[in-house]
Structure 1
Amino acid sequence: MSSTDISSADGSLAAARAGSKKAFIPIECNPTVMSSLAHNLGLSPALSFHDVFSISDPELLAFVPRPALALLLVFPISEAVAKQRLEEDSKHPDYKGKGDEEPVVWFKQTIKNACGLMGLLHAICNGEAREQIETDSKLAVPGSPLEGFLKEAIPLDPFGRIHLLETSSTLESMHTSAATQGDTAAPDANDEVELHYVCFVKGKDGHLYELDGARNGPVDLGELGDEDVLGDKAREVVQGYIERGAGNVSFSLISLGAGFD
């Protein structure tokens, strides 16, 4: 959602973000909307997004299907959060990963207000969720839009993926349709929005990753072991975002897991 560029000011990926003129309608952090978009793109209906109403209350956490394959956190961009992220990114070079050996698939956000779509793509293109993308072998018709998109994206470096994202009419039209289906009136694509999406997934190497297209690459948060992304380690990271919000209650959290049907 956010149009604030909190990626590193030092590096060509930041320049790519600054040079983009494209803007999307911000998408609501609504599990029904996100699930619908994911399924239309080609994620199996066996997986859906679910509200996470608490990261500390065991009774409320018990309602969330486990294992949780991805978390999507929407948070306000406070000065403290922006400063910390800029400092962290300044210590690392722009990410240049590509190919099947990447522990996670990461996309740089250059489209204004498209952080919801970036978060969704990060959630469904990584970890066990990626294995649930409909393919030719699972369908009686040619493969899903997401299968074709990933086949093109995987061999590309972040710059190639930027071009793929900015020129995909399928992603744009599906995102636009989903962004107008939330519970609240959709803002204009060029509005300044103060909330931002970040995704947490478990990589191929068993590590917890923070994936955010506004940064200069994936952030490796360390070994998860047998935990899923709603275990103690991931909840501690989410709690850190909440604490840096300095009392702001504009947080939303949804998880990707087995559907209820």
Structure 2
Amino acid sequence: MATEQSRAEPQGTAVSQAAEKRYFVPLENNPEVMTSLTHKLGLSPSLQFHDVWSIDDPDLLAFVPRPAYALLLVFPVNETFAKFRAEEDKDKPEYSGSGEDEDVVWYKQTIGNACGLMGLLHGVSNGAARAQIQSGSDLDTFIQTAIPLTPKERATLIEQTEALKTAHAAAASLGDTDAPAADADVDLHYVCFVKSEKNGHLYEMDGGRKGPLDRGELKADEDVLSPAALEKGVRAFLKREEEAGGGDLRFSLIVLAESLD
């Protein structure tokens, strides 16, 4: 899977309907950009993001350090996905979990064009990556504050945390493509796949949905780039697009894993 350097956010994502709706400049799906943002917020330099050039070629996949802690997928928000999302979400209740007993920490998105930031927060708030956040950093303070809150309260916290806004703005100015306006309509979207340390399940984390999506159990030695995780996660997106006869294959992947330096 070749990586496309693109900025992502879906048209129609569930965001606040308040008169003063907030927007962030979309982030480019670029490992250097995402690494810069997470390090600025307080993730240990021992972790970084890497391109995933293919999920089918074992030789290319072997270039990615393992274990893989979080997988960020960028994909086109089109009619195929919109129909699937509506069907899957229609009977689901709004997630209301909070506290240390949650299987995963989920954040609801209320800021337009902030799906990249949401993906990063989901990736570092869950799984083994969370243990590699520097104590006392902006990221550590944010997550510790967010844990006991409800999803609605967490969304407000994200809106009001100046450190997130400042770091995001700096990262949005980086990358290989020109940054669009903050309130531009962009038809690409980020989701994050993480493995829960509580129950060993793979979760699809999307702040525009009703809550975290449990995609099934993984074995102890399986990470988010294992064949089982890819089948339950990324390949499900590709399969839907292929079955619908869609030709829009603007899918790209980056993964959080150990640094190469």
CA contact under 8 A between 2:10 and 2:77: conserved in structure 1? no
CA contact under 8 A between 2:9 and 2:116: conserved in structure 1? no
Quote how far apart the aligned CAs of 1:133 are.
0.4
The answer to whether 1:169 aligns with 2:165 is no
Show the counterpart of 1:100: 100
Q: Secondary structure at the match of 2:235?
A: helix
Quote how far apart the aligned CAs of 1:80 are.
1.1
| Residue identity in the other structure for 2:93 | P
**Hey, what's the Cα distance between the residues in 1 that align with 2:222 and 2:195?**
9
**Hey, what's the Cα distance between the residues in 1 that align with 2:26 and 2:228?**
29
Deviations 1:96-123 (A, max 9, x none): 0000011111100110000000001001
Deviates more, 1:33-42 or 1:232-241: 232-241
Q: 1:230 aligns with which of 212, 225, 228?
A: 225
CA contact under 8 A between 2:103 and 2:199: conserved in structure 1? yes
Q: Secondary structure at the match of 2:16?
A: helix
CA contact under 8 A between 1:200 and 1:209: conserved in structure 2? yes
Change in Cα spacing, 1:122 to 1:69, as seen in structure 2 (3 Å) is same
Show the counterpart of 2:116: 116
CA contact under 8 A between 1:71 and 1:201: conserved in structure 2? yes
**Hey, what's the Cα distance between the residues in 1 that align with 2:85 and 2:16?**
16
CA contact under 8 A between 1:78 and 1:244: conserved in structure 2? no
**Hey, what's the Cα distance between the residues in 2 that align with 1:230 and 1:41?**
25
Quote how far apart the aligned CAs of 1:5 are.
3.0
The answer to whether 1:197 aligns with 2:196 is no
Change in Cα spacing, 1:17 to 1:3, as seen in structure 2 (3 Å) is farther
**Hey, what's the Cα distance between the residues in 1 that align with 2:13 and 2:165?**
23
1:103-252 to 2 correspondences below 5 Å: 103-135=103-135, 143-203=136-196, 204-225=198-219, 226-236=221-231, 237-245=233-241, 246-252=246-252
Show the counterpart of 1:4: 11
The normalised TM-score by structure 1 is: 0.91
Deviates more, 1:104-113 or 1:247-256: 247-256
Show the counterpart of 2:16: 17
Gaps of 5+ in 1: 8-15, 136-142
Q: Secondary structure at the match of 2:167?
A: helix
Q: Percent identity?
A: 56
Quote how far apart the aligned CAs of 1:32 are.
0.6
| Residue identity in the other structure for 1:227 | E
Show the counterpart of 1:38: 38
Quote how far apart the aligned CAs of 1:6 are.
4.6
The normalised TM-score by structure 2 is: 0.91
Q: Secondary structure at the match of 2:17?
A: helix
**Hey, what's the Cα distance between the residues in 2 that align with 1:161 and 1:251?**
29
Aligned-pair RMSD on alpha carbons? Answer: 1.2
Deviations 1:186-223 (A, max 9, x none): 11101000000000000121000000000010000110
Gaps of 5+ in 2: 1-7
| Residue identity in the other structure for 2:114 | A
Quote how far apart the aligned CAs of 1:3 are.
4.3
Quote how far apart the aligned CAs of 1:151 are.
1.3
Deviations 1:107-162 (A, max 9, x none): 00110000000001001111000000000xxxxxxx10001101110000011101
Aligned length: 246
Deviations 1:62-120 (A, max 9, x none): 00111101100000011111111111111210000000011111100110000000001
**Hey, what's the Cα distance between the residues in 2 that align with 1:56 and 1:69?**
19
**Hey, what's the Cα distance between the residues in 2 that align with 1:58 and 1:180?**
34
